[in-house]
Structure 1
């Protein structure tokens, strides 16, 4: 952990990440060491989960501080391999305060089966959890990107469409990225998106 007990803002950030990790684990969205969670403090510091830890059993030691480029401030810390996807979002939009990444069954299966570049979700009441949506009578697209172990290269593919993303985005065979102005909002949007994906998967299975 980069902060100390005398740093209440850092402790609060760690608590929010730990609580979100437990919630995501309870829903089956972060199996094994999958997923990563981060938040940006009011002073610009970024807290993110340490590489390799189980997100359902996080302690404050499982959260580290990184700079805006994704480099750990403590040289002995190791950030997630996907840290750049978090810092990309923070650099893109100054209003983003938290980023969540999970690996649910619905997201993973749908990402492998969908042949187009996006999953369209329409007419669901819960779409109103996403910014700018006032009615269920709307249609939003969740972009899909091919998985790539070269995260810098993946980030260049994601970058051109960031401004048009209302739901977040999905990496094939991998999982979703969702964000918000703060951790509670980001978590609500993740839960909303996962509900939508579970509905979409159930409808596809029923159709077959």
Structure 2
């Protein structure tokens, strides 16, 4: 059985981010770990602002199989990859925010470097605005298996402690529970907006 409290918290987080417009037009996907072998992932094509617990499908972390026969989200393979890579990850949020989407295209390198912001301290393990928080950016790909393989290869030598950006696509982030994943999402979204505004103002 899944942790009903965590699934309830995930549904609440979906309503919250849906109200913010961070998963428009049924975009985005969310999941919570059940145990070492299974997770619960949002069904494809659902409005994230109106999800109920019945809209989450049990999915095998090992091979993305959904026993119900219903269709899980298109990026299922990215969620299960995170759960395989990081046993401490218990919730994953993938959103299509304007700030994350635009900034991932404005930044031409493979890593967005965030530093100098007090709000960096909302991220687990960050204690100072003087630190640099690297956010990996991967080129988008409709072949999710190929994309997951690129991310997995990168993660062998570069930790991904909070999440990553998909160029022109959005942000995927996670946490040790739903509350932490939600905090990371809100904090990173604030940092992305600050960084975009800083770059715009510097061009004036």
TM over 0.5: yes
Q: Which 5+ residue runs of structure 2 have no aligned equivalent?
A: none
> Is 1:52 aligned to residue 54 of structure 2?
no
Change in Cα spacing, 1:198 to 1:72, as seen in structure 2 (3 Å) is same
Measured after TM superposition, the shift of residue 43 of structure 1 is 6.6
- What pairs up with 1:59-138 in 2 under 5 angstroms? 59-68=52-61, 69-75=63-69, 77-138=70-131
- How well do the aligned residues superpose, as a CA RMSD in angstroms? 1.5
Tell me the TM-score normalized by structure 1.
0.91
> Is 1:145 aligned to residue 145 of structure 2?
no
Partner residue in 2 for 1:184: 179
CA–CA separation in structure 2 for the residues paired with 1:137 and 1:125: 9
Partner residue in 2 for 1:154: 147
Partner residue in 2 for 1:3: none
Q: Contact conserved, 1:129 with 1:192, CA < 8 A, in 2?
A: yes
Tell me the TM-score normalized by structure 2.
0.92
CA–CA separation in structure 2 for the residues paired with 1:129 and 1:21: 20
Aligned pairs, number: 200
CA–CA separation in structure 2 for the residues paired with 1:132 and 1:160: 24
Q: Contact conserved, 2:162 with 2:175, CA < 8 A, in 1?
A: no
| Cα deviation code 1:91-126 (max 9, x no counterpart) | 111111011100100111111221111111002112
Q: Please state whether the residue corresponding to 2:24 is helix, strand or coil.
A: coil
Q: Which 5+ residue runs of structure 1 have no aligned equivalent?
A: 1-6
Measured after TM superposition, the shift of residue 129 of structure 1 is 2.0
